[in-house]
A and B are shown apart, each in its own frame.
Chain A
């Protein structure tokens, strides 16, 4: 037990040190590098909190895709100039802000220590109703059935975010391929890994999606891995992104949420409640929605990392 406590304290201390490093870093690049390392430590923390589903998502999205997004943005800002930067606050204001933030942390810390005992929990309710969903993973049960509406809205948020990012494209670049042009490196580790990793990654993603019904995993984790594999191939110049005008690509992004809404409406018509699944077909319908959502999530995440079509000439 004490060994595990020591590991927890070590993880927490490392995470704290990296967070301080991010805030104090002189260069944005350093801050982003430390932030990625911080995300990886958090992934381990989630495993220690017995939240493996969250750990998979944090590793894939929090550390992986966010890291790529931020590093690419820094690279681009370094090229076009950082734009206007607001003035940093003076010493007195900084100290006041520090005291205020310390107070926020103290209040939150007190709340964590003062949580009621025994802790309120919905675990018993989930355990009692999980059998009806024919799923073995309680988190998937909550995501797809008990809080299905949240998941539907989240899937819709991804579509809206893609629309939002695309709408920031300059007029003359509209209808072009998403993402800023990139100098493709023909050889070296990237070119090798972009050929070796995607086949493995696709198998891993499909596995994580398939076991998600009964073990940690599911559409978001699988979608994030698929998106990463697509981005890897794109970075190495092995894959092209269709232009924003491409109908198949738009359909892929929208298909998952659209199917989810259709299933919800069917539930309203035949079962009397929005998102009520037909009896006897609960698991097949959930799996179908998960599969189509995976494709949509993967496409949306990759497009969000790529950003709007750019008017830049190829460097």
Chain B
């Protein structure tokens, strides 16, 4: 049951995150919404892992390991995006002088 509830939550978060990414104009807002979208994707995958419980495990360990990998890679992408936004803002700040 938890699998279905959080799977559906994941589906909703993907939609909400995507909406925010497309509608909000500030770069930092877009990055936050990108992370919302990502957490939705991970939750859907987590629901799949929960349904794959068996052989004495409460959830399929393979999707869990892939989600772990995904979380760290998504964080790395976020830091790179934030660094790009800050550099762009710095350059525009200096341009008129």
For A102, list chain B residues within 8 Å (CB). 15
Q: Determine if A220 and B65 form an interchain contact, defined as CB atoms under 8 angstroms apart.
A: no
Which candidate, A30-38, A199-207, A233-241, A245-253, is the interface stretch facing chain B?
A: A30-38
**Complex contacts, B61 vs chain A, CB 8 Å:** 122-123, 126, 138-139, 141-142
Task: For the complex, give the distance between the alpha carbons of A41 and B58 in Å.
Answer: 21
Complex-state Cα separation, A45 to B40, whole angstroms: 12
Which A residues between 94 and 134 are near B, CB-CB below 8 angstroms?
94, 97-98, 101-102, 104-106, 108-109, 111-113, 115, 119-124, 126-128
Q: CA separation between A84 and B85, bound complex, in Å? A: 10
CB of A273 closer than 8 Å to a CB of B: no
Q: Is the interface of A mostly helix, strand, loop or mixed?
A: helix
A301 CB to nearest B CB, Å: 8
Q: B1-27 interface mask toward A, CB cutoff 8 Å, 1 = contact, 0 = none?
A: 111111111111111111110111111
Question: B18 to chain A: closest CB distance in Å?
Answer: 5
Q: Considering the complex, give the chain A residue whose CB is closest to the CB of B76.
A: A161
CB <8 Å contact, A70 and B52: no
Q: Would A15 and B79 be within 8 Å (CB), given that A83-B89, A101-B19, A104-B18 are in contact? A: no
Closest-CB distance, A147 to chain B (whole angstroms): 6
Residues of B with C-beta under 8 A to A285: none
A306 to chain B, nearest CB (A): 9
- B-side residues, CB < 8 A to A, are 1-20, 22-29, 31-33, 35-36, 39, 42-44, 46-62, 64-69, 71-73, 75-80, 82-90, 92-93
* Complex-state Cα separation, A138 to B54, whole angstroms: 12
Cβ–Cβ < 8 Å partners of B76 in chain A:
157-158, 160-161, 304
Q: Is residue A69 within 8 Å, beta carbon to beta carbon, of the partner chain?
A: yes
Given pairs A61-B71, A121-B54, 8 additional interface contacts (CB within 8 A): A1-B1, A50-B2, A73-B85, A108-B15, A112-B11, A120-B52, A142-B65, A160-B76
* Cβ contacts under 8 Å, B78 to chain A: 66, 69
- Residues on the A chain within 8 Å of B72, using CB: 57, 61, 154, 157-158, 220, 297
With A5-B1, A19-B17, A77-B28: A161-B80 Cβ-Cβ less than 8 Å: yes
A49 at the interface (CB under 8 A from B): yes
B55 touches A126 (CB 8 A): yes
Q: Which of B3, B6, B16 contacts A23 (CB 8 A)?
A: B16
- Bound state CA distance, A42 and B43, in angstroms? 9
Cβ contact within 8 Å between A82 and B14:
no
Are the C-beta atoms of A15 and B9 separated by less than 8 Å?
yes
